[in-house]
Chain A
Amino acid sequence: MNMTTLVPLPVVLPLLGAGAALMLSHRPRAQRLVTIAILSAVVMVAAILVVEADRNGPQVLWIGGWASPLGIALVADRLSALMLLVSAVVTLLVLLYSLGQRMTGDETEAPLSIYHPTFLVLVAGVSNAFLAGDLFNLFVSFEMLLFASYVLLTLGGTEARIRAGTIYVVVNMLSSSLFLIALAAVYSATGSLNFAQLATRLDELPDGTALMLQLLLLTTFAIKAAIFPLSFWLPDSYPTAPAPVTAVFAGLLTKVGVYAILRVQVLLFPDSPLSDLLLWAALLTMLVGILGAVAQSDIKRMLSFTLVSHIGYMVFGIGLATEAGISGAIFYVAHHITIQTALFLVVGLIERRAGSTSLIRIGGLARLSPVLALLFFVPAMNLAGIPPMSGFLGKVGLLQAGIEVGTPMAYTLVAAGVVTSLLTLYAIAKTWGLAFWRTPEQAHEMMRALPALEDDLDDSHHRQGFTIHGQHVHMGGTAFGTRELAEARRVVDEDQPDRDLHQRLDDGSLPTRLPLGMVVPTAVLIGFSLVLTLVAGPLFGFTDRAAHDLQERTPYISAVLGDNG
């Protein structure tokens, strides 16, 4: 049976579903059913495509039946199919989670009727980006997913979301303009935008021209993927969105940028002189990102910074430009999509149970809700790369690839990778210690002590395990600055409605149980990440084959262009 007819389904189904969901906006039940059915179908199609692409090579479909190379091609090779499968599973679970959140009457400020269609458009955009066989289709899919993300990020239009959304929208419009400039330049230099054709034509260009085109494309994708120094927008805009939205953004959107870099770097510009630049970018992304994470006093912001930092690992693999490096990068993308999404979902649960994600006002969650502690602990350790979980295996794969290359730069990155992993563990341990292990009373005591201590301008004090130095209060390895002091003062002030966990536990204003509809999808997603660990051997085999094909380039080019290539 010819499987190429399945290729457009991951794009078409969600788009049709979005239309249907919009029409059903007055019947929430039907809307929910449509969305779940569509996303489940996408998971199945993606699974079939993975098997098919692995057995029979890249699956190509020319939309509208135009003869190659005139039309628009959708290509599902091993890399695309794997990305598609992981993203489909993740989006389905995130949707179930958001249903669980909604059924309990939470998030009343978000219009339900808009959420489902927009979510489906986002899925269609992400799928289209993975399947796109030419640069312009990639641009269109970026715009699709960005547009959906603009809406999801500013759901409800509260002040904080509008502020964060403004920066996000302007940065992305700017990067889209840059992408268009790159497209115009590529088209005028080669007369084509099809990946397979470009792969053959770009080789014939003068070095300088090719370098300029590559720089333009890389800059564009680096903004999307949040690679330092183009990562500043991410920790600013992600944390304000609702938990499931942040989760799906963190899991998928930056990875689409990484995927684009991988595709362009390997297929269009092999042996490029910019690999060293990518390695430098990877180094700085890892270190700057994780140092930012260590300094945060809010779990959401901390995770946003680890997200930036761990993008560095993937860029490291791509920058090595060896088969092992690319294979490691693909594995790491698959691992990181699941794990980062799972963590943000858990943060949503923390926010629900404790009423806040600020590390200075919560504590004692381990006793309060052991299930929550377990749900946080497993993916957090996975993120830090504790053996034997997939985070460890992915990092080992990348570090081995770095050592194989053996240049001083590669060794530097291997060292930086280890340091980043350790610092991730530190940031996680800090969160664990403050949010889960100390009692709510301790958190409350410290909170009460903060404003009093601030007035005391002596250089350093030691009281009950924390010190004060100028305007900083140090506790448990964390420095709390003026913003936290202001927050503490608000909570302590009896006239203000702001309360910390201890007070809210006393007055009983918090839900005592976590809704099962939110816990189960989170647990399933964490289970999925553990399955990735279990099948790591076959998965690495798969990514090795994918990397081999990518490096060779001919399977992709001949599958797309047929005999014309």
Chain B
Amino acid sequence: MNANLTLILTASFLCGTGVYLILERSLTRVLVGLLMLGNGVNLLFMVAAGPAGGPPIIGTTPTDDMADPLPQALVLTAIVIALGTTAFLLAMAHRSWQLNGHDDVQDDVEDAAIRSLAQADEASDSHDLSHEQTTDDPGDEDQFEEEGAPS
């Protein structure tokens, strides 16, 4: 099978950008990332469909020149589902903004508690955070986030 290189490159570009955006903190960016990822995946279906052809209607196109209709049907379903989830996630981002004034994805309360234990060097002896022990600054947490964020 001859795959279409342009489609593959575009799909991989969209997926890569999507993954990068999903790693962001803001829910809106995560959503854009998921959408790009979804579009990249939909293009993969076009790759799976093989070479382009005529409309798959008996009588208008000879059987050998027909495009494979099934992947297009699948993509259509996937697009509809993505539309629904996008609307829902947008509503959640809006609700988060109503409640908190921002739409940043927040840490799990329990995880945050465990991290505060770790920063106080209480998690366990094997968890070495000796370089953080010197400062008792509450600004420590922000520093933690910035280290994780891509720059």
**Residues of A with Cβ closer than 8 Å to B?**
136, 140, 143, 147, 150-151, 154, 157, 159, 162-163, 165-167, 169-170, 173-174, 176-177, 180-181, 183-185, 187-188, 235-236, 301, 470-472, 481-483
Contact = CB atoms under 8 A, between A and B. Distances in A.
Interface of B is mostly: helix
Contact of B38 (A154, A157, A162, A177): A177
B99 A169 contact: no
Contacts of A236: 108, 110-111
B92 A166 contact: yes
Interface of A is mostly: helix
- 10 tightest A-B CB contacts, nearest first: A188-B48, A483-B113, A184-B44, A180-B41, A184-B48, A236-B108, A187-B48, A184-B45, A143-B81, A159-B99
A157 B92 CA distance: 8
A491 B37 CA distance: 46
A423 B141 CA distance: 34
A177 B92 contact: no
Given A162-B96, A184-B47, A167 B105 contact: yes
Contact of A169 (B85, B106, B109): B85
B125 to A, nearest CB: 12
B95 A169 contact: no
Interface stretch (B55-63, B69-77, B131-139, B143-151): B69-77
A170 B37 CA distance: 12
A169 B78 CA distance: 16
Interface string B28-69: 001000100110011011011010000000000000000000
A136 B27 CA distance: 28
Interface in B85-121: 85, 88-89, 92, 95-96, 99-100, 105-106, 108-111, 113-114, 116-117, 120
Given A140-B77, A177-B41, A188-B47, A166 B88 contact: no
B110 A157 contact: no
Given A154-B92, A481-B117, A170 B30 contact: yes
B113 A482 contact: yes
A150 B110 contact: no
A470 B122 contact: yes
Contacts of A151: 88
17 contacts: A136-B74, A147-B84, A159-B99, A162-B96, A163-B96, A167-B105, A170-B22, A170-B30, A173-B89, A176-B81, A180-B38, A301-B110, A471-B117, A472-B122, A482-B117, A482-B120, A483-B109
B5 interface: no
Given A166-B27, A188-B1, 20 more contacts: A136-B74, A140-B77, A140-B81, A147-B88, A150-B88, A163-B106, A165-B92, A166-B96, A177-B37, A183-B45, A187-B45, A187-B74, A188-B48, A236-B108, A471-B117, A471-B122, A481-B114, A482-B113, A482-B116, A482-B117
A170 B108 contact: no
Contacts of B42: 180
Contacts of A188: 1, 47-48, 50
A301 B92 CA distance: 24
Given A169-B89, A236-B108, A187 B34 contact: no
Nearest to A146: B85
Contacts of A184: 41, 44-45, 47-48, 71
Interface of B: 1, 22, 27, 30, 34, 37-38, 41-42, 44-45, 47-48, 50, 70-71, 74, 77-78, 81, 84-85, 88-89, 92, 95-96, 99-100, 105-106, 108-111, 113-114, 116-117, 120, 122
Given A169-B88, A301-B110, A183 B34 contact: no
Contacts of B47: 184, 188
A170 B106 CA distance: 13
* Among A150, A151, A169, A173, residue most surrounded by chain B Cβ atoms (within 10 Å): A173
A162 B106 CA distance: 10
* Among A150, A159, A163, A165, residue most surrounded by chain B Cβ atoms (within 10 Å): A163
A173 B33 CA distance: 11
B110 A483 contact: yes
A180 B109 CA distance: 32
A167 B108 contact: yes
Contacts of A180: 38, 41-42, 44-45, 78
A455 to B, nearest CB: 15
Nearest to B18: A177
Contacts of A147: 84-85, 88
Contacts of B81: 140, 143, 176
Contact of A177 (B1, B34, B96, B120): B34
Contacts of A483: 109-110, 113
A150 B85 CA distance: 9
B122 A481 contact: yes
Contact of B105 (A170, A176, A235, A301): A170
A126 B57 CA distance: 35
A166 B92 CA distance: 7
B10 to A, nearest CB: 14
A150 B41 CA distance: 22
Nearest to B42: A180
Contact of A174 (B22, B78, B108): B22
Contact of B120 (A143, A170, A173, A471): A471
A181 B92 contact: no
A113 B45 CA distance: 38
Nearest to A187: B48
A472 B22 CA distance: 36
A360 to B, nearest CB: 13
Nearest to A297: B110
Contact of A170 (B34, B70, B74): B34
A136 B77 CA distance: 10
A263 to B, nearest CB: 20
B120 to A, nearest CB: 6
Nearest to B46: A184
Contact of A166 (B45, B48, B105): B105
Nearest to B38: A177
Contacts of A472: 122
A482 to B, nearest CB: 6
A471 B123 CA distance: 10
A148 B71 CA distance: 26
Given A147-B85, A169-B89, A471-B122, A157 B95 contact: yes
